[in-house]
C-alpha cells in the first residue's frame, strides 16, 4: 500500500502506510513549506506505521519548529502510540486528540 498526504487548508491528512517503504515519496517533505501558523496532522486514515515512520514524524516536527509552525496530531492510531511509548518519545508528540 502507498502513502498519501493531502492538504486541506491547514490540515495534512495522512492515509495508507507511513513506513520505510513509503517515506521516500515525501523526502524532503515540501508540504510544510506551504503552511503557516497552526498545522494539524490528521492520522484518521493511516493504516500502518513503523519506527521509520515515527522517526520521520519527529524529523518533521523539528522542521516545523524551525518554520515557527504549531503542529497538532489528531486521531493518532494505537500502533503509532505504542511505538512512541516503546521508543520513549511520547512527550515529543503534540497529540491533542
Q: What is the mean pLDDT of residues 48-55?
A: 96
Q: How far apart are CA 73 and CA 43, in angstroms?
A: 7
Reduced to 3 states, what is the DSSP secondary structure of residue 3? strand
Confidence check: pLDDT of 77 > 80: yes
Q: What is the mean pLDDT of the chain?
A: 94
| Domain locations in the chain as residue ranges | 3-92
Closest CA to 21 of 60, 58, 63, 49: 49
pTM of the model: 0.93
CATH no., domain 3-92: 3.30.750.24
Q: How far apart are CA 97 and CA 86, in angstroms?
A: 20
Q: Tell me what pLDDT residue 26 has.
A: 85
- At residue 84's C-alpha, the angle toward residues 61 and 91, to 5°, is 60
Q: How far apart are CA 54 and CA 97, in angstroms?
A: 17
User: DSSP code of 54?
Assistant: H
Q: What is the mean pLDDT of residues 14-43?
A: 92
Amino acid at each position: 500500500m502507498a502513502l498519501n498526504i493531502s492538504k486541506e487548508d491547514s490540515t495534512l491528512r495522512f492515509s495508507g502506510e507511513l513506513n520505510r517503504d513509503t517515506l521516500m515519496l515525501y523526502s524532503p517533505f515540501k508540504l510544510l513549506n506551504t503552511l503557516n501558523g497552526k498545522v494539524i496532522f490528521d492520522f484518521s486514515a493511516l493504516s500502518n506505521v513503523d519506527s521509520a515512520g515515527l522517526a520521520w514524524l519527529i524529523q518533521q516536527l523539528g522542521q516545523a519548529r524551525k518554520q515557527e509552525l504549531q503542529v497538532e496530531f489528531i486521531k493518532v492510531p494505537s500502533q503509532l502510540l505504542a511505538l512512541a511509548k516503546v521508543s520513549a518519545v511520547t512527550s515529543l508528540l503534540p497529540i491533542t486528540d
